[in-house]
Structure formats: structure tokens, C-alpha cells
Amino acid sequence: MDRLLDNPWFMKGVALVLAVLLFGSVPKGNLDKQRDVNVPSDEKVEVIEDVPVKSYYDTDNLVVSGVPETVTVNLQGPKNIVQQARALRDFEVFVDLTDAEIGEQRVPITIKDLSERITATIEPGSANVSIQEKVTKEFKVDAEFSRNLVEDGYIAEKPTVKPGTVQVTGAKDVIEQISFVKATVNSSGKVSDTITREASVLVFDKNMNKLEVSIEPSTVEVTIPVKSSSKEVPLEIVRKGTPPSGVTIESISLGTKQVQIIAAPDVLSEVESARVEVDVSRIKGDTELNLPVIIANGVVGVSPEMVKVTVKATNKTERTISNVPVSMTGIRANYEADFLNPANGQTNITVSGPSDIVSSLSADDFKLTVDASGLEEGEHEVAIKVTAPRNVNWKLANEKAKITVAKKEA
């Protein structure tokens, strides 16, 4: 055993085994401790992100830009104090510009209200800031909306804005860039009536880039007058088809003479009328109909949409009544007269009219006469006069009679 202890290689081997055992016994936990190899065992490092940065300056007269909104803060110190600072965040990161002059400059970002036993590192530790004179100027607000917001057949007139002006506050060079102050109206659907909407006010430069400024008030009330683009036009009757056999259309009249049409202004200027189509092939007698008003292409609305149409019609039939006698009047004393044509003193008459009337007529309903008054001896052509029932039309087979007049023999 003594020999082994005296052997240097044996002692080196034992030392190596002990070193391996000691390395394996070291804890693998707390990665922060492994990283913070230079931090004493009783201290701790904490990284706090998104810490807000405050700016101290003359807010009444100056505008500051370039200060980051948040920074990252590294805290190192006694473990319990660092943990308390992280939990409470009762410290403040700030930029002190109270004595800064107008212009561009680089300023430090600092921290206060932190324990003296804690060391703080801020990332970034400084900022390039621009300090400018604050300016407030009044601007007129222009309302803006898409024409697609308005229903077809309606037009939008010039909108009104209430209030009509706003106060815009910002850095002097930014205020000088303002070219447009707009309130844009949006809607979920198309409109056909006057609308009033609240709209946010936005400020733009000449290239329509939005400018970061303070606006008072930040919203305005926009009213867009919307009205229909309309006019009155006459209503015309258009006949379609042919009346059934025996039916005569005497008249077609409308209960409404004019209608109001709605269309875009360019269409409206071209349209001069609307129409109602009456299919007379379906008419068998006096009829009242409710028919739609037909409008031209491009017209989006009409009022009224339906109109009353009155059709006056007769259902006529035609028949010929044969052997209707023709009588002779006005024959002077001592004279006599005879028919040469029609030879038997009878003729035919064709009658047309309402079927219920025409079907009941006979020869007895007609009186046919010729007047021989003042006729001398000889042959004469005399017109046949007709007395007929009302509400019928008639036509004689012979419109004139040929008669002979002679003296009676003593």
C-alpha cells in the first residue's frame, strides 16, 4: 500500500477520478447564475423590457420627437433589492429636456427613484431628439366620401361639417407641411336618404402622407344630403296582339297619366316616357286591369309601379237578314210605281253588333223605304232609307232601288 502511495502515477489517477466526481456534483439549474459568472453569489441581474420613457420639457411651448417610447433596463445588485425593484417598478426612466434648446441634439436617457445599491444599465442609453416650437393653427375641414356610398338613382349634394374648423397643434415645421385636413365618412351599406355620421379628422401633407399632430376636436359631424334623381314623364299605352274575333276595342284609358322615374342624371335626361303594355288578345269585353309600368334601361325606380287600365270593348257578331221588304212613299194621286230592282221589293241587310242584340233581330226590326215624291213618269233610282235598332251596324245589299212610275189608266 505504501508503495502505491509513493507511486506518482497512482496519485495522478486518484486525483483525476476525484475531479470527475466533483464536476458531476455541480448543479445544472439557474442559467442566470451560469451566465453571471462575474456576479457575486449574493447579487442578482434582472433584465426588464418595455420600460416606458418619460420626457420633461416645456409642453406649452415646445414639441419633442425622437424619444423612444420604451427601453430595456438591466438591474444588478443584492438579490432581494433587485427582485423588489423588478416587482414594484417604482423607478422612472426619463429624458430631461427642461434646459434643452430648440434644434436637434443627442441626450442621455436616465433613471431615478432606484436604490443606491442597484446598478442600472439602459439600452439604448441615449436618443437623438428634435425640439421645436409648438404651433397651433386653425384649419377648415373638408368632408370626403365615396360616391359608391349612394344608391343608384340617387345623388349626393355637398356635405356639411360641424364644426367646420379644427385647431391643429404640432411642431412648426410639421404644421407648415399641412395641405389637407379631411374627415372621411364610411358606411356599411348604400344609402338613399340624407345621413349624418361622426368622422375622425386626419391631417396630410401634399403627398397624402399622414402627419402626427394634435387635433381638437378629433372628430366632427358630417351630414351628406342625399336625394333621388327623378322627374315626371307621361305614361303611354302600347297595344299588343289582336282582339279575338268579334271583339272591337273601343277605348283604353289610364287612371294615371304621369309617373315619376328615378335614374342617374345622364340617364334621366334621355328618358322621355314610360309605358303600359295591354295585351288586347285577352280582352273579351269591358275590362279593368292593374298593369305594371315598364321603364327604360338604366331607370332604377318608378312610382307608381302599377296603374289601373280601363278597356272598353264590344263583342260583336255579324249576320245577314234576308228578304227585308222595302216600302214606297210619296206616290202622287193617279200614279202608280213598281220596283224594277230589287225585283220583288225585298233586299238583304247585313247587321253587326253585340251578339246578344244581333242574334235576336229579324226583318220586322228594320224599316226600309224609298221616297217617290215628285217623280214624273219613267224609271228612277232612289236611295233606300233605313230605320234600324240602336247599337248595331248595318249594310244593305242594294243601297238604291230602281223604280218605274206611270199614270193610272182611266
| 8 Å CB contact between 405 and 376 | yes
Residue 361 lies inside a defined structural domain of this protein: yes
The whole-number pLDDT of residue 250 equals 86
State which of 289, 315, 341 marks the end of a domain.
315
Residue 124 DSSP class: S
State which of 173, 195, 228 marks the end of a domain.
228
User: Which residues are CB-neighbours of 180 under 8 A, at least 6 positions away?
Assistant: 142, 203, 204, 205, 206, 208
Residue 222 lies inside a defined structural domain of this protein: yes
Task: Say which residue the cell 199614270 belongs to.
Answer: 407
The whole-number pLDDT of residue 1 equals 47
Residue 54 lies inside a defined structural domain of this protein: yes
Tell whether 64 and 119 lie within a shared domain. Answer: yes
User: Which residues are CB-neighbours of 248 under 8 A, at least 6 positions away?
Assistant: 313, 314, 316
Tell whether 162 and 249 lie within a shared domain. Answer: no
Tell whether 103 and 38 lie within a shared domain. Answer: yes
CATH number at residue 340: 2.170.120.30
| 8 Å CB contact between 46 and 74 | yes
Tell whether 113 and 145 lie within a shared domain. Answer: no
Tell whether 287 and 336 lie within a shared domain. Answer: no
Residue 55 lies inside a defined structural domain of this protein: yes
- Cell (9 digits) for 50: 418595455
Tell whether 224 and 157 lie within a shared domain. Answer: yes
Q: Give the type of residue at 203.
A: V
Tell whether 103 and 181 lie within a shared domain. Answer: no
State which of 132, 165, 197 marks the end of a domain.
132
Tell whether 111 and 177 lie within a shared domain. Answer: no
Tell whether 205 and 191 lie within a shared domain. Answer: yes
Residue 8 lies inside a defined structural domain of this protein: no
pLDDT tens figures, 211-232? 989 999 999 999 999 888 889 9
Residue 198 lies inside a defined structural domain of this protein: yes
CATH number at residue 258: 2.170.120.40
Residue 160 lies inside a defined structural domain of this protein: yes
Which regions in the chain score pLDDT beneath 70? 1-42, 410
Residue 5 lies inside a defined structural domain of this protein: no
Overall domain count for the chain = 4
Tell whether 253 and 267 lie within a shared domain. Answer: yes
Report d(CA 403, CA 393) in Å as an integer: 26
Please state the pTM of the whole predicted model.
0.50
Tell whether 220 and 272 lie within a shared domain. Answer: no
Which residue range forms the structural domain that includes residue 212? 141-228
Q: How far is CA 357 from the centre of its chain?
A: 60
| 8 Å CB contact between 238 and 273 | no
Bridge partner residues of 122 (DSSP): 73
Q: DSSP labels for 5-22?
A: HH-HHHHHHHHHHHHHHH
Tell whether 297 and 330 lie within a shared domain. Answer: no
Report d(CA 199, CA 159) in Å as an integer: 12
